[in-house]
Amino acid sequence: MQLVCLDLEGVLVPEIWIEFSKRTGIPELSRTTRDEPDYDKLMKYRLDLLKTHKLGLPDIQKVISDMGPMVGARDFLDALRRDYQVIILSDTFYEFAMPLMAQLGMPTLFCHKLEANAEGFLVNYHLRMPNQKMEAVKRFKQINFKVIAGGDSYNDTAMLAEAHAGILFHPPQNVIDEFPQFPVTMNYTELRAEIDKASARI
């Protein structure tokens, strides 16, 4: 049995925090782990910013629902799910991702959770587990799935390395240079072709 695991942001939907920053006009929300490697510090910074700007969860979900998936993502995913079992592994949060999941046909998503108070303001976040992408792939292998994984960035490389076959999708040049062992694809046609090649090989 074969399973395809895909990252979400940068593969099927835009980078949510960066796009959210643009759409709200709050440039500080575009900070990522490249700017602040301490994820806990970064998330608390983001939650404080949302509170300062009085953006509650319903406001955030409305903005995110207006983003939409990347061009061609829904067709790619629909076709892929006809031939493979597909699970999305992401470090985003269900409360952010669900409006976009609805536009992608509600694929299975493993990610994290946010906590809102009675007024709808976000007060905390809860990681499902550390390194959840890699750990999920490891567990799928233990129950006899052959796993093909696709992702776009540095934080996907542990998942790609753990899978039977890992594929980069439209990655930045520094990731291409540092991880030459993974084939590089730049569009959905190329990604599907690499998935099919891996499927025939593993």
Q: Which residues are the active-site residues? A: 7, 9
By C-alpha distance, which of 106, 104, 84 is closest to 150? 84
* Distance between CA atoms of residues 68 and 102, nearest Å: 10
Radius of gyration of the chain (CA): 17
> How many CB atoms neighbour CB 79 within 10 A?
12
